[in-house]
Amino acid sequence: MKFNRRRYINDTRVQIRYALLFVIISLIGNILAVTAFNLLALKQLDILMWSTHISITSTDELVRPVFIVVNVVNFVFVAVLLGLTGFLMLKKTSGPLIRMSRDIRKITEGDLSSRIALRQKDDFKDVADELNRMTGELRERFINLKDKYEGLSGSLLMIGKDISKKEDSINDYNSILKNIDGVETELNKLEL
């Protein structure tokens, strides 16, 4: 069996999607800040140009209040957008993880018929598919062990009933030993 290394938790598509979202939000915030600053600064300069009395000694006195207000508003706007984006990203990833955790708990309690059910577009869908495949293989192994156990139990009952016939009992005994070796081989595969 060939194993390819897979990246479940650090999926580059998910990382790129979230990084692009962060960059786009930051870029929009910066564009809005520069635009607002330019508009407000031009308005302030226009007011100053048409006033009859100029009481400022440098452009710093004129532009600093506008610069501070625009940057504070921009900071709050971008912080709210990034907080909202972080909340949505957390919600998008925590939902599938919570469902996976609930279903895995059922499996660890012994319900090998349980499956991890995620929607097609959910994150961690590939992890859930691999866990479902593993659970299916475990279920098949336990079904095989159960069948072998039932066969051994039936053989032991037959030996108990047919104890008077020695030759049949010896054949049944050898058959049981083969079955026990088969069960032992299956148990060794499980690496308990």
Residue 167 scores a pLDDT above 70: no
| 26 and 119, same domain (yes or no) | yes
Considering all CA atoms of the chain, what is the largest pairwise distance in Å, rounded to the nearest integer? 128
Instruction: Indicate whether 89 and 105 sit together in one domain.
Output: yes
Mean of all residue pLDDT scores within the chain: 77
pTM of this structure: 0.53
- Measured in Å, how far apart are the chain's first and last C-alpha atoms? 20
Claim to verify: residue 135 and residue 165 sit in the same structural domain: yes
139 and 93 housed in the same domain: no
Looking at the fold, whether 19 and 101 belong to one and the same domain comes out as yes
Mean pLDDT throughout 145-170?
Answer: 69
Q: Say what percent of the chain tops pLDDT 70.
A: 80
pLDDT at 133: 92
Domain count of the fold of the chain: 2
Q: Do 94 and 136 sit in the same domain of this protein? A: no
- pLDDT, tens digit, 9 for 90 and up, residues 172-186: 677 777 777 777 777
129/84 same-domain check: no
Pairwise pLDDT comparison (92 vs 187), residue with the higher score: 92
53-111 pLDDT tens trace: 777 777 777 778 888 888 888 888 888 888 888 788 787 778 888 888 898 888 888 78
Question: Rounded to whole angstroms, how far apart are CA atoms 44 and 50?
Answer: 10
Is residue 105 located within the same domain as residue 144? no
Could you list the residue range(s) of the whole structural domain that residue 39 is in? 1-123
The C-alpha atoms of residue 141 and residue 126 are separated, in whole angstroms, by 23
In this structure, the answer to whether residues 84 and 138 fall within a common structural domain is no
Q: Report the distance separating Cα 42 and Cα 59, nearest Å.
A: 12
* Confidence at residue 192, expressed as pLDDT on a 0 to 100 scale: 46
More confident position, 2 or 176? 176
Same domain, 166 and 108: no
Query: Six-digit token pair at 155?
Result: 């053989």
Mean pLDDT, residues 8-25 taken together: 72
**Are 73 and 5 contained in the same domain?**
yes
